């Protein structure tokens, strides 16, 4: 993926991995537009980086997605990179009745949102000399976390979607790159995660991921996520059990 001279739209760009990517790409001279639901976080991010822009977007709302896509194409006709990063991760232990609100919100944000936004921008991207769609999944797409079953399932679905999208676009100038984070020090599951010593420091992740993004790989896999990524297969249950016992303190 070419990392300079691009016009880049990042969902969930006001914090965590999204903000880290936005700052790194901004530093390479790209035009970066960050989006999200929290205007205050977006304003803080862009004020710290003159020239970076923001756009409010409710990734759960199809009307908000359509409006944002229309505005993006009108205001930034050179747009050629989409990073589908926005996501939520809430516990939904499935050994009892599911909380339907959590399940529905997680699926709408993590799965339907990226699919809808990609669809809304795809014809524009096909008109560009070159374009890139980045889907942010998770190591949990391949080795799920049982206490966050719906989140893990949505990331597995986006991995599957990424494979299909890449295949369907193989004869176009639109590339599809999957970014697979491990457990990273962000506030995705709460403030405690940002200081959890088991998690990869955010800046360390961004630095390694950016080096890989600048190559021609289809999957961006930092070293810390490879065990999860490579575990899927006939013998996956033992590693899955070990990981979940570790995370649950058993």
Q: Which residues are catalytic?
A: 151
Residue 235: CB atoms within 10 Å: 9
Using only the alpha carbons of the chain, give its radius of gyration: 17
Tell me which long-range contacts 219-223 makes (C-beta under 8 A, separation of at least 24): 219/177, 219/178, 219/180, 220/177, 220/178, 220/179, 220/180, 221/180, 222/180, 222/181, 222/182
What the block records as the tokens of 198 is 């088991």
3-class SS at 247? helix
CA 168 to chain centre: 20
Query: What gap in Å lies between CA 59 and CA 65, rounded to an integer?
Result: 6
Q: Among residues 104, 108, 69, 85, which one has the least CA distance to residue 36? A: 85
Among 192, 205, 197, residue whose Cα is nearest residue 21:
205
């Amino acid at each position: 993926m070419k990392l300079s001279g691009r016009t880049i739209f990042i969902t969930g760009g006001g914090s965590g991995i999204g903000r880290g990517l936005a700052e790194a790409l901004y530093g390479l001279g790209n035009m970066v537009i960050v989006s999200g639901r929290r205007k205050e976080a977006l304003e803080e991010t862009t004020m710290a980086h003159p020239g970076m822009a923001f756009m409010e977007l409710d990734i759960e709302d199809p009307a908000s997605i359509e409006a944002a896509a229309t505005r993006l194409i009108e205001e930034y006709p050179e747009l050629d990179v989409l990073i589908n990063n926005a996501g939520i991760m809430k516990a939904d232990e499935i050994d009892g009745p599911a909380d339907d609100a959590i399940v529905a919100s997680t699926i709408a944000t993590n799965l339907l949102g990226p699919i809808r936004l990609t669809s809304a921008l795809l014809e524009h991207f096909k008109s560009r000399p070159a374009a890139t769609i980045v889907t942010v999944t998770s190591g949990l797409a391949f080795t799920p976390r049982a206490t966050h079953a719906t989140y893990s399932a949505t990331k597995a679905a986006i991995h599957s979607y990424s494979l299909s999208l890449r295949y369907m676009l193989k004869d176009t100038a639109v590339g599809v790159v999957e970014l697979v984070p491990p457990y990273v020090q962000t506030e995705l599951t709460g403030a405690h995660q940002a200081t959890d010593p088991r998690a990869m420091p955010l800046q360390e992740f961004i630095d390694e991921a950016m080096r890989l993004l600048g190559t021609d790989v289809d999957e961006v896999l930092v070293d810390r996520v490879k065990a999860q990524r490579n575990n899927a297969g006939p013998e996956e249950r033992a590693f899955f059990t070990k990981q979940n016992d570790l995370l649950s303190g058993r």
